[in-house]
């Protein structure tokens, strides 16, 4: 009898602090699997965000650093310019990449830095207690929009992938989801493509991953997955944007 599925070498054998059903654990594992498959574990440098994934360096078994809130792509730029032979990627949530770090994100993308950004979009601020994020859907109830997000007061959800897709220096943008095993495998392919682009010196790549937050969406894990499939993908359709 052969073992056909086990923990990748790049993922430490520890229990994570994430809530039950959280998508961060899945995204961490997919990245670890891709790094093992591309055999770049000794060359990778990750930049962890501020947010729920702030201690991602405790879970990955490769070199990681930590950036100030929203500045992961600026830190990633510096690392890649000083050490161009290393594979640099940032792992950021929507509060980090799309709110406080919008400026750094857009400019790093516009400069066409040869780095990979993994963008976890769960439409809410997880770490601080379920407040509205720029990516929160219209009508979605959060701690700061108890009656649902209203376009008159909070505006429309920010579509970062579409925005970055318009920049000529951006080479690859794809939006994927984690709501079922098939989509998880597609997400892994997209992450692999984004790393391969960096290895081939193609340029800036971003993978947006729609990820569940059952705790602050106030749903069971299973229902959170169906909410992504039925509601979230209407606002954020799954496709290769560039």
Partner 1 sequence: MPRITIDKEKCKGCLLCVSVCPKGAIKAGTKMNKRGITFVEFKKGGNCLGCAMCAVICPDCCIEVYK
* Binding residues for partner 1 (CB under 8 A): 1-7, 11, 15-16, 18-26, 29, 180-181, 184-185, 214, 220-222, 225
Scored b (16 or more CB within 10 A) or e, 195-212 reads: bebbeeeebbbbbbbbbb
- Residue placing its CB nearer to partner 1 in the complex, 150 or 222: 222
CB 83 within 8 A of CB 126: no
State whether residue 163 is helix, strand or coil: helix
Cβ 177 to partner 1, closest distance in Å? 12
Cβ 126 to partner 1, closest distance in Å? 13
- Residue placing its CB nearer to partner 1 in the complex, 25 or 95: 25
DSSP bridge partners of 206: 117, 173
Cβ 33 to partner 1, closest distance in Å? 10
Pinpoint the alpha helices (H) of 116-242: 151-154, 160-165, 181-199, 214-217, 221-227, 233-235
Cβ 192 to partner 1, closest distance in Å? 15
- Residue placing its CB nearer to partner 1 in the complex, 168 or 181: 181
- Residue placing its CB nearer to partner 1 in the complex, 32 or 98: 32
Cβ 1 to partner 1, closest distance in Å? 5
- Residue placing its CB nearer to partner 1 in the complex, 3 or 147: 3
């Amino acid at each position: 009898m052969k073992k056909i599925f086990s923990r990748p070498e790049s993922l430490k054998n520890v229990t994570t602090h994430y809530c039950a059903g959280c998508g961060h654990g899945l995204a961490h594992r997919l990245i670890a699997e891709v790094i093992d498959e591309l055999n770049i574990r000794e060359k990778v440098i990750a930049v962890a965000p501020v947010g729920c994934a702030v201690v991602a360096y405790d879970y990955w078994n490769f070199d990681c650093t930590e950036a100030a809130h929203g500045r992961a792509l600026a830190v990633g730029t510096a690392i890649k310019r000083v050490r161009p032979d290393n594979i640099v990627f940032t792992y950021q949530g929507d509060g980090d990449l799309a709110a406080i770090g919008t400026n750094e994100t857009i400019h790093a993308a516009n400069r066409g830095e040869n780095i990979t950004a993994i963008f976890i979009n769960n439409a809410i601020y997880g770490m601080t207690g379920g407040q509205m994020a720029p990516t929160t859907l219209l009508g979605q109830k959060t701690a700061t929009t108890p009656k649902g997000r209203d376009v008159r007061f909070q505006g429309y959800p920010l579509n970062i992938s579409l925005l970055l897709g318009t920049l000529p220096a951006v080479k690859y943008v794809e939006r994927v989801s984690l709501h079922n095993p098939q989509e998880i495998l597609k997400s892994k392919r997209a992450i692999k493509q984004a790393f391969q682009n960096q290895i081939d010196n193609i340029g800036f790549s971003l993978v947006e991953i729609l990820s569940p937050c059952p705790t602050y969406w106030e749903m069971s894990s299973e229902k959170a997955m169906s909410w992504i499939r039925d509601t979230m993908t209407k606002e954020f359709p799954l496709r290769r944007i560039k």
